[in-house]
Amino acid sequence: MSDHTPPKDAFTLELRRIDNLLTVGQLPQAAQALNQAQARHPGDARIYLLGMRLAEMAGNGPGALVAAERAVNAAPQWTAGLMEAALMLMRQGRHADALPLAQRAMTIAPDDLKVVRRAVLVALKAGHAEAATAWLRKLVVLAPYERQFRDLFAKQLLANRDAAQSKAVYDKLLDEQPADAMALSGRIQAALALGDLPTAEADARALLAQDPANPQYQYWLALARGETPDSQPDALVQSLFDGFADRFDVTLWRQLEYRVPQLVADFLLKTHPDRRFNVLDLGCGTGLVGVCLGPLDGFIIGVDLSEAMIEKAAQHGVYARFHRVSVLDALRETPADHYEAITCCDVLVYVGDLSEVIPNALRILKPGGHFLFSCETAQEDEPDMVLRATGRYAHKASAVQRWCEQAGFENTQIDHLPKLRMEAGAPLPGFLVTARKAGAPD
């Protein structure tokens, strides 16, 4: 080591100082210190990793990618570096690139709690069920005292349709703490999936004893008693989609071949070739309707319960405004004769009861305006509205047609879609409703 080279521990302290500069947001100072460190210890993976952080904080995504690649190449066995790089890739939405790094770190250090925790996060965000399940299984062995990990594991088992194992995990959690609301909530869902209604009912009652007005607990009690509640509680929808936002577009559009937003946009652009119209997009999600429509000589307003979905939609820059409220609240609070079009794609499957939705949509449309919405199909020999085991509502096309006519829509067209999207490897049938309000457009 030359006189000018600091001893290793002093250098480590210097790197820690740079890390602190980044933490407090002093980016120019951190950049200068990093350049000096780089000149002294070229090729040190820790410098590249700090460079990755700096680039990311400065909004330089491509720079962060280059720095991450250098860090990983410089120290391919350094698990902290691999996992930091993987998490940065996740933040950039590059799930497919992040997963192999997590896999490599897991091969190197399968019993390192920090590595396993982060790898689980990557697998869950990437929607890789097999890796998530395997690594969660490992995590609960490494940290059996962490009840949240066991809850996550049980949730993953349920998502894999292994309700029996999921329930077994919750049984143990509840043996240890019988009043734990998290475990009671989880066991209800596993029990409902298994058709074990007595367990679901007992657990729902235990939760209601703790919080009698909780709409989610009331909903579960109704399900456990074989009833069909009017709609899914807002909190359930919100937590479902907040956890799904990162993967929604890839899952729905690429894997499940979901195309309803495109059909809706095609209809509206054909009806308004000059692109001069305003749209209320109910349950806008990640903004696929807005993306398919493209820029308009008018505005698109997005409504959704999920903050995370709205954040994704906002990134497209197509929506003029968002409201984080329920479909029903948005419809009730909008003045009459306001929009040329209302869209509601794959949303009423969560809303269920349409008795307020359809008349209010009619009220706030301008004369000649269109309400376009999709439904999952209930068969004609089923009730008008059915709650499926998936937790989503299906509607009967003839009932929807009747409700639109009764509300006063002038013309209601129903297009049957043999494949609304894929579901568990098979096409899920549905239909698209185009209901027109009477009168000539302005």
Summarize as ranges the residues that interact with ligand SAM (CB under 6 A).
Answer: 237, 241, 260-261, 283-285, 288-289, 303-306, 309, 326-327, 345-347, 350-351
Closer residue to ligand SAM (CB): 61 or 391:
391
Closer residue to ligand SAM (CB): 157 or 288:
288
- Nearest distance in Å: CB 238, ligand SAM: 7
- Nearest distance in Å: CB 254, ligand SAM: 13
Closer residue to ligand SAM (CB): 105 or 313:
313
Q: Are the CB atoms for 376 and 395 separated by under 8 Å? A: yes
Please state, in angstroms and rounded to a whole number, the distance separating the CA atoms of residues 316 and 309.
12
Closer residue to ligand SAM (CB): 13 or 320:
320
Q: Are the CB atoms for 187 and 158 separated by under 8 Å? A: no
- Nearest distance in Å: CB 347, ligand SAM: 4
- Nearest distance in Å: CB 345, ligand SAM: 3
| 3-state helix, strand and coil shares in percent for the chain, rounded to the nearest 5 | 55, 15, 30
- Nearest distance in Å: CB 330, ligand SAM: 7
Burial (CB count within 10 angstroms: exposed 0-12, middle 13-18, buried 19+), residue 43: exposed
Closer residue to ligand SAM (CB): 51 or 302:
302
Which residues contact residue 439 at a Cβ distance below 8 angstroms, ignoring those fewer than 6 apart? 366, 367, 368, 410
Which residues contact residue 158 at a Cβ distance below 8 angstroms, ignoring those fewer than 6 apart? 166, 186, 189, 190, 193
- Nearest distance in Å: CB 351, ligand SAM: 5
- How many residues are recorded in the chain? 442
Please state, in angstroms and rounded to a whole number, the distance separating the CA atoms of residues 84 and 327.
39
H runs (alpha helix) in 109-196: 113-126, 129-142, 147-159, 163-176, 181-194
- Nearest distance in Å: CB 168, ligand SAM: 31
Q: Are the CB atoms for 71 and 85 separated by under 8 Å? A: yes
- Nearest distance in Å: CB 208, ligand SAM: 22
Closer residue to ligand SAM (CB): 18 or 357:
357
- Nearest distance in Å: CB 10, ligand SAM: 52
Q: How large is the C-alpha radius of gyration of the chain?
A: 26
Closer residue to ligand SAM (CB): 51 or 283:
283
Closer residue to ligand SAM (CB): 72 or 309:
309
Closer residue to ligand SAM (CB): 45 or 309:
309
- Nearest distance in Å: CB 305, ligand SAM: 4
How far is C-alpha 26 from the geometric centre of its chain's CA atoms? 33
Closer residue to ligand SAM (CB): 328 or 414:
328
How far is C-alpha 408 from the geometric centre of its chain's CA atoms? 35
Which residues contact residue 171 at a Cβ distance below 8 angstroms, ignoring those fewer than 6 apart? 187
Closer residue to ligand SAM (CB): 172 or 332:
332
Q: Are the CB atoms for 304 and 333 separated by under 8 Å? A: no
Please state, in angstroms and rounded to a whole number, the distance separating the CA atoms of residues 100 and 78.
14
Q: Indicate the DSSP class of residue 305.
A: S
- Nearest distance in Å: CB 379, ligand SAM: 22
Chain residue whose CB lies nearest ligand SAM: 285
Please state, in angstroms and rounded to a whole number, the distance separating the CA atoms of residues 55 and 60.
5
- Count of beta carbons in the 10 Å neighbourhood of residue 186: 25
Q: Which residues pair with 393 in a beta bridge?
A: 387
Q: Which of 214, 222, 150 is nearest to 187 (CA)?
A: 150
Please state, in angstroms and rounded to a whole number, the distance separating the CA atoms of residues 245 and 238.
10
